Amino acid sequence: MTEFGKSLSFTETTIPGLLIAELPVHGDSRGWFKENWQREKMVAAGLPDFGPVQNNISFNDEIGTTRGIHAEPWDKWVSVATGRIFGAWVDLREGPTFGAVFTAEIDPSRAIFVPRGVGNSYQTLESDTAYAYLVNDHWSADAEYSFLNLADETAAIQWPIPLSEVEISAKDLAHPRLADVTPIPPKKTLIVGANGQLGLALRDLFGDSPRYDYAGRDSIDLADPAFLSSRRWRDYDTIVNAAAYTAVDLAETPDGREDAWASNVTGVAALARVAAAHGITLVHVSSDYVFDGTKDGAYVEDDALRPLGVYGQTKAAGDAIVSTVPRHYILRTSWVIGEGKNFVSTMASLAERGIDPKVVDDQVGRLTFTDDIARAVSHLLGAGAAYGVYNVTGSGEPLSWADVARRVYALVGSDPSRVTGVSTEDYFASATTPIAPRPRNSTLDLTKLGATGYVTEDVVDGLERYLARG
């Protein structure tokens, strides 16, 4: 008997992510009505915004019709329009809850959200039962599925009607026992720009687990229209965009301007389209160059963008594009230091060769080490931090480039007074090629990131650690 008058609510079960829903059903002498799927109300009440794309109905004539146990690589919203079922769900995902079982009766006043990789099965308890389910992906022969035998002794499901007395398909009877089931792997993360400074740091942090795909410029072409269908995107939950055009001065030339816009805007737009279409979280790394550097004090995340040069303009355009993706993180960085040639390694080399450099002293900010950015990416994703923009730089007192150079000289055992500070104008006075305008103040406020529980490394400590690696 369908229960009328419930309030909409969701309850966690013993299987992570499997949610039982109580649905309001309104009835009178004519029959009843319910909102079987109402995105706005249900998401507000605690249902994941899983983005269904297909609605299926399975009609069952007889009591005891039994189907499953099937685990697919998509989420389901299961309910009944008429009749009643005994449902059984088994966690077939990789992880500590593999093999966990949950059972419940479902009638029109109750539904269940079944996350990707949880095996779904049911037995009808009334004739003429209409079993309905929404899914957030289309069936594909290339998808990875798992199945479990309905009579598996480990799961030990207590079916109301013995399996020997019910209608079961030959295919379901042939499914493997739990010991022989191939678990559904977690969704994957694609790291774009995997051979760059940040990409290498992300690889060092995440390792070579099959959960992570690393794509360099030689293996991915964001400008190719085929990119949009180049992978089974529903198998991914995250894309980290560590790729960018960063030649700030070259970007001021005609060819450089074209390349900067192609990489930092057109390429980002391709990633954003994929992420938005498939419910993927897009992590994008931005820059202090989206600001003009005239603010008195540190920039916060919602300060107005006022880029000075072509590079900054392309990064600001990329930020605007990424902000339209429902699930996004934009990480604003400054003065990035990682593997390979960079300002710190150059200063260390000059010190060791006995060279006394002139270094700009009217641009102020903080260094950001790529391993710190990588850890921040991992933290924000793992903590489920609110989507949006986060400043991610080293912590501590802001320094000028000349200050940083003097710190490097001191740390490698050279006299820091050998570094001479000069203005930006004097430093570039003899340049014969276009020079991009630089923000004089690149200091980014770290309060928002700190509120998530992540504190970046002090710049001076990071310098010492970086140089100690040799």
User: Of 288, 334, 333, whose CA–CA distance to 307 is shortest?
Assistant: 288
Structure-token pair, residue 241: 């965009």
* Pair 130, 84: CB distance under 8 Å: no
Catalytic residue among 70, 175, 278, 284: 70
Entry field: residues in the chain: 470
Contact criterion met (CB below 8 Å) for 129 and 80: yes
70 tagged catalytic: yes
- Nearest CA to 201 among 191, 211, 210, 209? 191
List C-alpha distances in Å: 374 to 2, 10, 186, 194, 284: 52, 35, 20, 12, 12
CB-CB contact of 191 with 203 (8 Å): yes
Point out the catalytic residue in the list 122, 131, 133, 289: 133
Beta strands in 61-109 (DSSP E): 66-71, 76-82, 85-91, 101-106
The tokens for 415 are 């006299």
What are the phi and psi torsion angles at 231 (to 5°)? Answer: -140, 165
Tokens 């001021």 -> residue: 252
Q: Which long-range contacts (CB under 8 A, 24 or more apart) does 19-24 make?
A: 19/46, 19/47, 19/112, 19/113, 20/104, 20/110, 20/111, 20/112, 21/47, 21/110, 21/111, 21/112, 21/113, 22/109, 22/110, 23/79, 23/108, 23/109, 23/110, 23/111, 24/109
Which residue has tokens 């960063």? Answer: 246
Task: Please answer whether residues 118 and 92 qualify as being in contact, where contact means their C-beta atoms are separated by less than 8 angstroms.
Answer: yes
Q: Round to whole Å and give the CA distance between 21 and 25.
A: 12
Q: Whole-angstrom Cα distance, residue 160 to residue 423?
A: 82
145 counts as catalytic: no
Secondary structure of 405-463 in HEC code, one letter for each residue: HHHHHHHCCCCHHHCEEECHHHHCCCCCCCCCCCCCECCECCHHHHHCCCCCCEHHHHH
- With beta carbons less than 8 A apart as the criterion, state whether 433 and 249 touch: yes
Kind and range of the H or E run holding 304? none
Measured distance CA(469)–CA(371) in Å, rounded? 13
Contact assessment for residue 345 and residue 406, using Cβ atoms and an 8 Å cutoff: no
Positions annotated as catalytic residues are 70, 133
